[in-house]
Amino acid sequence: MTHGRSGTRQCLAQRPGHGRQRGDVLLFVLFSVLVLLLAGLYTMRGLIGDTVIAGNAAQRQKNVQMGDAALAQAMKVITDTLDGTDGSVALQIAAHGASWLYIPSGTAAWEAPGTGGNLGFWAQCAAASAAVPCPDISTLPSMSALPASYTERMVIVSTNLPTDSQACGTTGYVAIYYNVFVNVREANGVTSANVEDVFKQCVRDFLFMLCTFKRSSP
């Protein structure tokens, strides 16, 4: 008796919707990756922007510090020029012929460099043919260069204001005012800073002294 073994063939039928579910999962994964990628790019962009802003702020602060240092040197140029005069000579006389001193004609106020008609002053005043020169402070006597190869230029301008007999606090002296303008520029020329101040010089009022002398004369 022959026994025959009949094999059974099983067919595994795919459950309805199984392939669609796998596709949905894949789309969800891709979408999640895209969202994470965009979030990363946005965060990186913010970090780069913050770094640039911080760098610009640091550079501006450095320019201001260099400007203050250059202004101190400009003031020293003035005081060195007046050293020993004991208030008997006005700056415009003591510094006659100095390249850094400018006395405007007339009584009108001279516009500050970088404003109005003097908008391009600092870019033009270094030329040998400039009507109002602005010498490099580091080339003047007893002056030294600023750190980091900064260029520092100055110009002292008479305010053309009337002398003030009340500002010195001493009888027989009057105040004369001068505007001090300074420009500093970093070595690559990308950024710069302008600093200004007012220098008050008390000089002897020779008219007062003359009147006093006449009153005391026999």
Q: Walk along the chain (218 residues) and give the pLDDT tens digit of each residue.
A: 545 555 555 544 455 555 566 667 777 778 788 888 887 777 777 666 666 566 567 778 888 899 999 999 999 999 999 998 877 889 999 999 999 999 888 767 788 998 888 989 998 998 888 889 999 999 998 898 888 789 999 999 998 888 898 999 888 899 999 999 999 998 888 888 999 999 999 998 865 443 333 333 44
- Domain total of the chain: 1
Is 9 part of a structural domain of the chain? no
Is 29 part of a structural domain of the chain? no
Is 27 part of a structural domain of the chain? no
Is 87 part of a structural domain of the chain? yes
Is 71 part of a structural domain of the chain? yes
Is 82 part of a structural domain of the chain? yes
Where are the alpha helices (H) located in 83-127, listed in sequence order? 91-94, 121-124
- pTM to 2 decimals? 0.70
Is 177 part of a structural domain of the chain? yes
Is 84 part of a structural domain of the chain? yes
Among candidate residues 177, 178, 157, the one with its CA nearest the CA of residue 101:
157
**Residue 161's domain spans which residues?**
41-216
| Paired residues of 198 in beta bridges | 179
